[in-house]
Amino acid sequence: MAGGASATDSAPDSAGGAAEGSAADVWWRTAVVYQVYPRSFADGDGDGVGDLRGILAHLDHLSALGVDVLWLSPIYPSPQEDNGYDISDYQGVDPLFGTLDELDELIAALHARGMRLVLDLVVNHTSAAHPWFAASRSSVDDPRRDWYWWRPPRPGFEAGAPGAEPTNWRSFFSGPAWTLDEQTGEYYLHLFAAGQPDLNWENPRVREAVHAMMRWWLDRGVDGFRMDVINFISKDPTLPDGRAVPGPGGSIAPDGLGDGSASFICGPRIHEFLAEMHRAVFERRGRAFLTVGEMPGVTVDEARLFTDPGRCEVDMVFQFEHVGVDHGATKWEVRPLHLPALKAIMARWQAGLADAGWNSLYWSNHDQPRVVSRFGDDRTEYRAASAKGLATVLHLHRGTPYVYQGEELGMANHPFASIEDFRDVEALSHYRTALGLGEHPSAVLAAMRAVSRDNGRTPMQWDAGPNAGFSRPDVRPWIGVNPDHVTVNAAAQRDDPSSVFTHYRRLVELRHTQPVVSLGDFTMLLADDVQVYAFTRELDGVRLLVLANWSSTDADVEVPDGVAWADAELLLASGTSTEPKGPDADGRWRGGAWDAVVLRRPSVPA
């Protein structure tokens, strides 16, 4: 049985999800979540795309890792304009991934192993192919017209003319956030792709339909939801123009589009909507669920409100501040990591949610490049050590850790050679826009190679064979397999006591067996050090010291209270040194490249 208690063992008498109650209600504080991106995990039917049958075939991998929760990125029917985040039917499974019966089989198989299933809930927007939107766009008088955001052209402009969009908002996938529907002569709002129209949550019928859908999934055995951009669902109904966006050299962006985020990030009714959702969906159910709010742009103060158990909104936030630390004006302006800046962000979230609320811990997901290439060192001699060091730091923080598929193997960015290798709508849109603004193709590709979401979406590397064991040798995967799979793969690591996989398994076990890891107080050390990440955790007379050298050169630093740690118990060690260890008797830590150690001692030395 993986991880903590089974679904039945942990079922509380009171409501699940964001509610104050017994220890079972907050089981997720000692849990570890594993994210599967279905199209890239395992191809079970031989069409080159991952599916539910492939996931079912690899559940033993998750059991061996010891994780508690499987978060499944969208598997609903979809035109796949944004790889499933454009949903055309909330209560089905896309044939690309399998059937509802197979999803039921997956739920049962996970529960039998003591794991839970969390689905992606994408309700800020639907697909333009959803029946709701088909009705909405059919006529200005249709009963579902106001299920979405429709507006006439800007006063003084003809529909379709440049600048006629109702507001100057830019979509996240480049270009205006409004698209003209020629049949009715009005524009609809889409914060993402044109095929992802935004739902109008001001309409109570929209909210009721979403709540009914969520209840349907819970009745089917699903254990909760990761809620995609859920803090965008409340918008200022006046939809005012956004602030001007600086372009090159500080000038106004050449396309004249602005940033409308002040009108939709944590909008005026967001707390009301989430509290209503909790009452309508989760209250009075006989087991505990997990509700995760993915919230771009959320502040620590807002996160305290969202995750305060007494407010009954969501259990934890999934925020992005730390993964923007190496961005310039946009994500495509890649900057070297400045470690003190990252530590400052992480420490602020640790302190801000220390006495109220809860945070998700992650380096990687389907929206991020591979962390070993981003914050670590993916060269052969440092790859495994840096992957372990990065994992140690993350998993020893307070919050719920997330492992993204392949992260437990140290998977790295793909060496994409040309634009033809990319698949992501965001990356392809950026490429067209950047070239239109006169940027050189090679420079654009270099940035895409570093930060494109496609890096996290290449096939899972199961073995050294053709297609990395993701699909049959005679099948071409939907996106290219990383050529390094011949040395970096699950088969080579699963039984290797020194592998990245084994290290992750030990980290999961620490969280399950050491309460100080999940619940202890956090204190950042050496905040300004550009090379060493150090902190302590403390709970009920037990204290941990975590030291990690985030560098491919040796470290030599004086550790606060270092002398007292010289003879501490070594709980976990990794790196390039033959025997990584804690501080010496003089209180200094001398760590090799990417060394990381976790030490344990009583709070008060004997």
Cα–Cα distance, 8 to 11 (Å, whole number): 5
| Residue whose pair of structure tokens reads 């699950």 in the numeric block | 490
Torsion of CA 120, 78, 55, 427, to 10 degrees: -80
**SS3 annotation, 185-219:** CEEEECCCCCCCCEECCCCHHHHHHHHHHHHHHHH
The DSSP H or E segment spanning 151 is strand 150-151
Q: What is the 3-state secondary structure (H, E, C) of 213-272?
A: HHHHHHHCCCCEEEECCHHHCCCCCCCCCCEECECHHHCECCCCCEECHHHCCCCCCHHH
**81 Cβ contact partners less than 8 Å away, ≥ 6 residues apart:** 127, 193, 195, 196, 425
Residue 22: which residues within 8 A CB-CB, separation 6 or more? 12, 13, 14
Given a contact cutoff of 8 angstroms between Cβ atoms, the answer to whether 316 and 401 are in contact is no
Residue with the two structure tokens 């395992």: 42
Cα–Cα dist 108/220, whole Å: 10
To which H or E segment does residue 535 belong? strand 532-539
**Which residue is listed with tokens 């070594």?**
570
Cβ atoms of 293 and 230 within 8 Å: the answer is: yes
Nearest Cα residue to 264 out of 303, 232, 295, 228 = 232
Beta bridge partners of 454: none
Catalytic positions are: 228, 294
Going by C-alpha positions, the residue among 335, 393, 372 that lies closest to residue 456 is 372
The one-letter amino acid code at 43 reads: D
Rounded Cα distance between 22 and 215, Å, is 23
Given a contact cutoff of 8 angstroms between Cβ atoms, the answer to whether 377 and 383 are in contact is yes
Neighbouring C-alpha atoms within 13 Å toward the C-beta of 92: 9
| Crossing angle for the helix pair 500-513 and 383-395, to the nearest 10 degrees | 10
Half-sphere exposure of 516 (CA within 13 A, CB side): 20
